[in-house]
Amino acid sequence: MNFLKSWLLREVWPVIARRFFHLREIERFIEMTGERYLDTARWAGMRGISEIEAERQLEYGVQSGILQRCFLYEWPDSPVQFIVPPEYVGRKVKLRDIGYIGEDDGRVIAVSEFRVREIFIAAGAN
Amino acid sequence: MDWPLWEKKILELTAKFPGKTTANKLGAMVAGSTKEQLDGLLLEGFAGFVHQTAFLARVRTPADIIGIFADAPRNGDIDLLLRISQVDANPVRGRFLVFIKRRMEFVGSQDAGFLSFDIPFPVAIHVTGNILIVQVMTMQSGISTWGRIIGQRFRKKLTVVRADYFHEKTMGFIVAAGGESPKYIDCSRRAVELMKSNRVDTFGGRYSAGLDGDTTYRTIRGKGKRALRESRLKDFNSLIGATHILNAELVFKAAHADLEAGSKVALYPNVGKVSFRSNLEGCDPDEFLKKLATT
């Protein structure tokens, strides 16, 4: 288990869980999926709530400083998915600059706002 | 005038035009038709014939998006021009044919050096309910065909034409016109339903394991290749058990979900991208796409 994951398990998720009073649900989610980010659809599915309510709760998480809003680049022109901070949307990034190692790591990806989706990560996580 | 685009109909339509081969007759038909007739032919082609790549997105304000395209300029030196606008008020629905400009670069024959041309590519836009569908015609013409289209001889084509470029331009046009930023639709769940069907063979697939990476399964290519379900059942089960499917290569064994037997489709479900790799004669790609978008 890497540091980020163990840190999420130990420090961050319990805080979120207490806030939302669904500790067991979140613990099970982390254990089963190992996911490192949450999105509205996933949170709504886990809690059995509407996406609007899920968005409101995640927004509350951002306002409370527990979560950080980011974007996930998952368009098929990139060999890997990667998290993009909001200020990088609209800019170009080299694959090697996001830590990708491969033959095509010099390739430049234009991080368009139409090719990312909103996700939430633990505040302070990089 | 009705312009059905089935192959048989094409032959019927071209029969009265001069020329020995179908290509010659088609050329004569194009030359003898008005721009409006040819535009109609193109738009109809997107609904059931042309090889195409489609992108699915969700919009909160479909009427605004329809308004933006209905008001798009028809003339001028700009990147997107409107050719056909079909708008229904109840239910709110809009279908448009636009031409999007793409600069293409070639190496000319002999001493012509580098040459560049602004080529208008046809793109169909469909707004139905809260779904926006952008359909881009697949252009894989060889160098000699491009030479004939432009009327010059080339040694090499330098620009790669990708459907994603036209999707990006379409979305950019909406936002520049004051519209919302459409959000692509993750249709992984629908893709899994398709893969589970006994009428559909899956020959390759890739699924996401979050930021830890992804897993790809592919059957052996070439003659005698077998579907994943038959050759690698365990891997196939992992694929259809995934939440986010990144890619799935499907071949329809029998008619299913508005596509005919023999249809080949490459899905990129997590971003709502669909590439039709075969002739769509007899299929209803519009209905297929709408169902795929309904998660």
Contact yes or no for A34 and B210 at CB 8 A: yes
Paired tokens of B124? 């169909």
Instruction: Give the residue on B whose Cα is nearest the Cα of A1.
Output: B212
E strands, B48-159, in order: 52-58, 80-88, 93-108, 114-128, 131-137, 154-157
Give the tens place of pLDDT for each residue, B204-226. 888 876 655 667 676 655 566 78
In this prediction, the answer to ipTM > 0.90 reads no
What DSSP assignment string belongs to chain A?
--HHHHHIIIIIHHHHHHHHT-HHHHHHHHHHH--S-B-HHHHHHHHT--HHHHHHHHHHHHHTTSEEEEEEE--TTSSS-EEE-GGGTTSEEEGGGGT--STTTT-EEE--GGGEEEEEEETT--
C-alpha–C-alpha distance, residues B247 and A61, integer Å:
32
Q: How far is B193 from chain A (nearest CA, A)?
A: 18
CA-based angle A28:A33:A34, to the nearest 5? 100
Is the CB of residue B160 less than 8 Å away from at least one CB of chain A?
no
Q: Kindly report the backbone phi and psi dihedral angles of residue A12, in degrees, each rounded to the nearest multiple of 5, phi listed first.
A: -85, -50
| For the ranges A11-15, A65-69, B206-210, the one whose mean pLDDT is highest | A65-69
Query: CA-to-CA distance for B186 and B264, rounded, in angstroms?
Result: 20
- pLDDT confidence band for A5 (50 / 70 / 90): low
**Has residue B54 got a pLDDT over 50?**
yes
CA distances for B15 relative to B23, B24, B38, B56, B136, angstroms: 11, 11, 17, 38, 29
From the CA atom positions of chain B, what is the Rg in Å? 21
| Percent of chain B residues topping a pLDDT of 90 | 48
Structure confidence at residue A102 as a pLDDT band (50, 70, 90): confident
The structure tokens listed for B134 are 């952008």
Coil/strand/helix, residue B107 = strand
Per the CB < 8 Å rule, is A115 touching B271?
yes
Assign A4 a pLDDT band (cuts: 50, 70, 90): low
Decide if B182 touches A, using CB distance below 8 A. yes
- Give A51→chain B minimum CA distance, Å: 13
pLDDT at B164 over 90: yes
Mutation pick from A52, A95, A114 vs chain B, by most beta carbons of B within 10 Å, is: A114
| Residues of B with Cβ-Cβ distance to A8 under 8 angstroms | none
pTM value is: 0.84
**Pair of tokens at residue B214:** 């992804």
Q: What is the least distance, in Å, from the CA of B6 to any CA of chain A? A: 32
**Is it the case that residue A22 has pLDDT exceeding 50?**
no
Residue A125 binned pLDDT confidence (cut-offs 50, 70, 90): low
